[in-house]
Structure 1
């Protein structure tokens, strides 16, 4: 009879965390900075939307009901979808390219996978869908050791605090 090999079960070692997790106050600070950038992007997107609406009126492709002005065209779901696309595009672009938005760079935060790689587009979409406009960050209050927000858990990623030198290296990439 052939001898059976005994297979040792592989022990899964937890990932080594070389960076501290971002706490609630840092996250909210970065979120505030990002909100200012997003508001300015929405103003620009509004100008673009208003210009397109005016162009459609001038060319005769769209007509207005009596008593309505150009802004009436901007109250529909198409314009709201345009603004949502601008917001989603901002976060998805920065998170998947560099792991940092402008506010996160100022607060030395980086979003990444546990292995240190940038998150994927699907992870970014999941983060945006589960963030509840930033309220998901309140879950950081329940774990002081390795704070994770609701959106971090669902997107299977982490937000870490970089050292000053690492943050500078990220900016120079």
Structure 2
């Protein structure tokens, strides 16, 4: 019986970075823009939640305890999960489809894998879970030449700054 030879993979070549990495101020600017969009989405989702709660009360599928009003239904874990799903859906949709949220487009930022491809859904969920509501971006202060946020490290992706022309081309693609 012949021995099997172990195959060693060729050494990985370091990625060639053609774009600068996004710094803290750009990230915070995009985050602020995105928070405004997310707040408006939460208002719409809140109206939908209130409508569903009222519909459940009218049809008799839900009841309100004595001394409470219909807004009591909006304090349920199900309603909180609905709002969390809206927030997660916003970021996952934009990050995996175009690599840019609305705020990132305004600040010419793009999230991508090191090879330039869009991130996967699992990477987007990891970013959301480790971002700590944006506080993970503070690690950019320690980054040196190519700063990375805490969520970038965990999700194995990067946030780059696009040129004006590249950003316009990204808008044309979507």
Q: Which runs of 5+ in 1 are unaligned?
A: 1-6
1:44-69 CA deviation, whole Å, 9 max, x = no partner?
00000000000011111111111111
Q: Residues 11-45 of structure 1, C-alpha deviation per residue, up to 9 Å, x if partnerless?
A: 43210000000000000000000000000000000
Compute the displacement of 1:9 (Å).
Answer: 8.2
Give deviations 1:116-170, integer Å, cap 9, x for gaps.
Answer: 0000000000000000000000000001200100000000000000000000000
- Structure 1 runs (4+) deviating above 6 angstroms are none
1:116 alignment partner, SS class: coil
1:7-156 equivalent positions in 2, closer than 5 A? 10-156=10-156
| CA distance in structure 2 between the partners assigned to 1:8 and 1:86 by the alignment | 45
How many Å separate the matches in 1 of 2:157 and 2:118?
Answer: 9
Give the Cα separation in 2 of the matches to 1:41 and 1:9. 47
Unpaired runs of 5+ in structure 2?
Answer: 1-6
What TM-score do you get using the length of structure 1 for normalisation?
0.94
Match of 2:3 in 1: none
**Aligned residue in 1 for 2:4:** none
Q: Take 1:8 and 1:64, find their aligned partners in 2: how far apart are those partners? A: 66
The secondary structure found in structure 2 opposite 1:68 is coil
Q: TM-score, length-normalised on structure 2?
A: 0.93
How large is the Cα RMSD of the aligned pairs?
Answer: 1.4
Question: For residues 67 and 46 of structure 1, what CA distance do their matches in structure 2 show?
Answer: 23
- What is the CA-CA distance between 1:8 and the residue it aligns to? 10
